[in-house]
Structure 1
């Protein structure tokens, strides 16, 4: 059969019998080539478990696996003729015998039934599986787990805190002295140290670090000062200061003030002298001695000639010493950082090991260490060699150097020794595109792509299995006009990875396409006056980002309303809809949010932000405010926030009236007093407050969302996109409970430090506009792509550490950077510019038919200063036509068809009848709700005691509070503190003295002193799962823990007290039995005792274990009985 050039290139690249290095342009079908190659390997008889395909992201691995399973599944159902056609299209040579067709039909079952499944995974997933297979050899815990970013951040902070409080605190203090007012952030610095730990371990000596800056080994501050201060400077400066002070010039007065602070024994004096005696960093010749210019002419004329000459000599010495000063300052910063790192890095690794944690870098490093260890590597490779015959690497341009080393170690058995056995065809397949390497912040090195190609070519050549190097130049995605704009834009950009001979060919050559370059939206000539009623982060209507956002929304609205025709590939023309639009920005800054807001204001469906910070979501903030109030009822602000939220829906006027006219400080008490006006609100809050101390955070949030219809209310006000944040909050509550004793206050504290970010699936946008970053759009495409964020950007380097060969240097401020750092910064800026070019390439090649480029504000003075300038230059090269618009002149290359097309509903689907299991709810067991040990049934008071009333419960709560807080105070202060506490918590004035007296009588009883002694624990939250009773969550009033026993004590304020333990009410025995059972699980091997402290008579009553165990058993027996029908 005959094939077109594009398909033929794909077929040749997918040859299963040849090792291949493939460079693939954007949209050239590399995922199809990968899928075809795996399918052809399976057809050739390769077992699924002998194939390893490494992808860059889990999404890419899932997409490739889905495509492969879809194809193999189709083969299983096709007839002979149709199957022969598909195999021929794949590149297989006929004739296809019946046994070959039968093999093709069984591949789907073989792939599904392969133990562990097809190995299509990220390199991190592969390394994790390798370490789990060989944990002893890799020296890792067999049950290790990958640490999440948030847990790692908390661990770093914890180690830093422990270091600062321990013997290494001096190293922290030394490090802190070198922080500047620039972008230095401690956690960013810690992450940088961890990412470049090879530069710190083994440790570098101070002499080594000074040598980096071309300083002598023993050069220090004394040597530096000796170069400038020769002994007569005080006399010279005194005369100069006096002349300046007598001058009429304010400049002289300012300089005199500075010079008066100069201390020749301090290095800071050199900085002061530089400010006065040298030109500034913005001068035409920066940091040059201002000979004859300081002081001013008037003051200088009053100086004696020898003083003037001595001042000029001092200037020259200051200028001459400046390079040594900034080099020494940089060396001292690096020395302090190295000293800190030598303690921090081992502490961090030790802490991770103790927890069984590995981060993503650890997975690669441990796997590399395993495969390169001469003691065990041979064994591991032998075992792997029997399992991996074919390695495929996707998105190779984003592979970092250490990952390449892991791949090379895996592949070495393919080309050497027993691994190159002649009876088994073994290959490596690598596909990538240096033009799309945009992940340098994750260590990606596009230059390694070419280096590794040469390395593999040489190794395979030596094994007489040459590497075929191929490219895919055809784009199946973009129209010819878009590709012409791309080629012209990057003409001459070889330094960014664009080969001079590289070009793109449109597979659909006749497909209409268009590139528009809109006029720049200028900055407004004058600032708008702020309206005090606007949010503080709201831009004015004339701000350039707001104007551009409005133009984009109007453009989309117009194109959709008039049914702009789109011809995509070889499909029939159709009308454009909102889901065709993909808007790409460089960062989620103000323009990003203004575009979303403008589109929503035009009634356009928009998917919202592609990434979401959970704790910044309004729905999550509203739930958090309610939780904060439930934890602390005195928190008026949180209650007010919750009341104004959709959860309760109070109007601003209603809240103001309630708060402004309240008689006391408590907003909650004011709300309760107005219960008749807000019955549903008070009832909901009362219900939640009664459960807050006993439900786990997840259960409490679920109660808000489900029982009280919180989810429906939030989605009704905030829209469907709020659901992602709500679900993420629930997931975080479960994650918190997995690693912590669940408590509401603990969860709130944990939540406040969380900066969890979740990613929305772009495929889930449906018929809505997608607004996302270019990085997030990698691998996506859209008929219409808008690039609005193409203005000039500052070329600042944010990295705190910069590479300097095998070392790393801590970047100083620009004006204080010695030559070594200045060169490193220049190199980093060049690499950043090259990556920005590649990012623009990725952005432009997402478009299928229509590409719109725009900018607001500054676009720079040269074409290379901004994406806008680069595209404008490229369009001019490509012969784009200028067109007048109401906002100025635009450029256009190519043309889309005019007129209108029949509208289409992208979400329309055929009508189907759902099976009953989709419409009829299944019977499910009622979920077990977490209960309190006090909710296990049984009486809580003696018959006729009357202690179950609400008044008695409130009295008991207040006495509990006193017994919890007062023991921490000196005895002399307890009575006054009791009075204040009872008043603050609303105790009836007539009952407060009696409550205080009862609590103080207990605290002052010498027989009860051990209960409240230092070291005992108050209000201990305890959770556990007891057979027959389910999950329990309770609070022990007082817990005493010794080496051999644990004593749980519960306070009871019943006025009528039993004489013996046998007479204790059943409900109290069950409660104490539950405490005893949970403590036995926590403290195996220790004696567990329980007791009740009756506060009214001040009696501590121990409870026999048999008594509480029997009561607990009765509670479990009652729970197991079926409910009456």
Structure 2
């Protein structure tokens, strides 16, 4: 459950629309908020100190979340994942809880896995958290982190121990048989021209008489021996091998493996019996062998660790920081926006900054045109009314209707066999910036593509050209460059500004 909450918190930093993730992040263990705090914004304070304090706590928590969201593209994904642990109450909550150090280590292991996947697959924070969000419903198995206490006894399978080493290893199953078993299923022979069946004492092979079953049993025995060889070679200082006294049919694998060991290094302990425990079971702490430091080996380990950390920093560094095309066109590459650069509503508001009747009017006209071109039901008045309710337009309704009618008439005159409104584009620019934006209208005509950007500014005076609007001209140039960068546009690309007040188009 703790890892699931952590994954949901990571995902909310990338996707604000994930309601389940938001409910998980704005509650313990990330923040000390109760239900009143979460809903406090919708309650009128009216001088109530308790509600005012709840609103303040909620705002403080959301400020941290906004900052983490804003910075997630400016740093490697693993750093954002660690920030969520350390900048919220999650780390303190886990560290002071039951089995705290190991539980905290599990969270850091998830953060490291996120960073590793992002580096290997060249994903940004949003991409890798979208992939790992599936773990909430279908968790994958991660090996538990090493215990902080050096006295901890770790219990694991031989498969889990592959590649590891321990001072003392105890192999427990003294009744394990040497021969491998072939049962429970059909098997195809290694040559692919025969079948073997071994199930509940029933054994058969097809075609008969080829000894396929014996070959499968020998292969299973060899695999079993290799597995136990891995187990016995995990011990660095002491290997404990139990030996059963109860007679049972069939050779046991552990005694068989020990037959070839040097007798001088074997010490046979007194048999353990519950009624009369031997002296070794009653003794205190066993003396620990002294460790001899190897300076050369330690230097090699530290050098390899340093090289790995440097490589991980390079691999995890973001390829580019998203920047809105509108911001790039006016040269404001250093601006830090609280919202994502690639969100359509936010970009629509930025485009309407110079609207002749203000942002709300411009955003409403843009949205109404988008509804019309997208095939929404109704007519111009219906589209404008819907857009006005979304953006809060309370006046200039008739002017908005007129702008939409002029724009649609101009678009109709352009013709075209196919069109797409709010077409997303991106372009990798200098300085580690990813220019992201939306083309208001993309038209495909015979032999050319047409890029149209709607402007609700005052209509251009007679004789004015696109050069008189340098910021808008640069915006169109970026759109054209982004289209060509996809490699999908080979012919001519024509771009222009369509002024909705008059229906006039200024071409690039």
TM-score of the aligned structures, taking structure 1 as reference length = 0.30
Does structure 2 retain, via aligned residues, the 8 Å contact 1:1025–1:1032? yes
Matches within 5 A, 1:100-499: none
> Aligned partners of 2:128 and 2:192: how far apart in 1?
43
| Structure having greater relative contact order (Cα 8 Å, sep ≥ 6) | 1
Shift of 1:884: 3.2
Equivalent residue in structure 1 for 2:59, among 679, 682, 694: 679
CA 1:1030–1:945 in structure 2 vs 1: closer, same or farther (change >3 Å)? farther
Match of 1:934 in 2: 326
- Find out whether 1:1080 has 2:484 as its counterpart: yes
CA 1:765–1:898 in structure 2 vs 1: closer, same or farther (change >3 Å)? closer
CA deviations on 1:985-1013 (whole Å, 9 max, x unpaired) are xx366649959975994699354258897
Does structure 2 retain, via aligned residues, the 8 Å contact 1:619–1:726? no
CA 1:988–1:1086 in structure 2 vs 1: closer, same or farther (change >3 Å)? closer
Does structure 2 retain, via aligned residues, the 8 Å contact 1:883–1:892? no
CA 1:625–1:685 in structure 2 vs 1: closer, same or farther (change >3 Å)? same
Equivalent residue in structure 1 for 2:448, among 1036, 1045, 1050: 1045
Equivalent residue in structure 1 for 2:21, among 610, 618, 638: 638
CA 1:815–1:743 in structure 2 vs 1: closer, same or farther (change >3 Å)? farther
RMSD value, Cα: 6.4
Shift of 1:1034: 0.7
Shift of 1:641: 2.0
Equivalent residue in structure 2 for 1:1022, among 420, 425, 428: 425
Does structure 1 retain, via aligned residues, the 8 Å contact 2:26–2:38? no
Shift of 1:642: 2.5
> Aligned partners of 1:656 and 1:732: how far apart in 2?
35
Shift of 1:636: 1.6
Match of 1:733 in 2: 118
CA 1:720–1:1039 in structure 2 vs 1: closer, same or farther (change >3 Å)? farther
Match of 1:1035 in 2: 437
Equivalent residue in structure 2 for 1:782, among 158, 166, 171: 166
> Aligned partners of 1:993 and 1:861: how far apart in 2?
97
Does structure 1 retain, via aligned residues, the 8 Å contact 2:416–2:446? no
- Find out whether 1:884 has 2:273 as its counterpart: yes
Shift of 1:782: 2.9
Q: How many aligned positions are there?
A: 433
Does structure 2 retain, via aligned residues, the 8 Å contact 1:942–1:1065? no
Q: Which structure has the larger Rg?
A: 1
Matches within 5 A, 1:576-725: 621-627=7-13, 630-631=14-15, 633-644=16-27, 649-651=30-32, 654-658=33-37, 675-687=55-67, 695=73, 699=75, 701=77, 704=80, 713=88, 717=94, 719-720=104-105, 722-725=107-110
> Aligned partners of 1:825 and 1:1100: how far apart in 2?
84
* SS of residue in 1 equivalent to 2:495: strand
> Aligned partners of 1:963 and 1:800: how far apart in 2?
64
Matches within 5 A, 1:57-72: none
> Aligned partners of 1:1011 and 1:792: how far apart in 2?
81
Shift of 1:883: 2.1
Equivalent residue in structure 1 for 2:206, among 779, 800, 820: 820
Gaps of 5+ in 2: 44-50, 95-102, 261-266, 296-305, 307-318, 333-350
Does structure 1 retain, via aligned residues, the 8 Å contact 2:326–2:475? yes
* SS of residue in 2 equivalent to 1:931: strand
Matches within 5 A, 1:908-1057: 929-936=321-328, 937=330, 945=356, 947=358, 956=363, 967-969=373-375, 971-972=377-378, 987=390, 991=394, 994=397, 1001=404, 1005-1009=408-412, 1015-1027=418-430, 1030-1037=432-439, 1038-1040=441-443, 1044-1052=447-455, 1054=456, 1056-1057=458-459
* SS of residue in 2 equivalent to 1:783: strand
Match of 1:52 in 2: none
> Aligned partners of 1:799 and 1:889: how far apart in 2?
44
CA 1:753–1:626 in structure 2 vs 1: closer, same or farther (change >3 Å)? closer
Matches within 5 A, 1:11-90: none
* SS of residue in 2 equivalent to 1:719: helix
Shift of 1:785: 0.9
Does structure 2 retain, via aligned residues, the 8 Å contact 1:640–1:655? no
CA deviations on 1:1094-1125 (whole Å, 9 max, x unpaired) are 5x537363441xxxxxxxxxxxxxxxxxxxxx
> Aligned partners of 2:406 and 2:254: how far apart in 1?
76
CA 1:645–1:1078 in structure 2 vs 1: closer, same or farther (change >3 Å)? farther
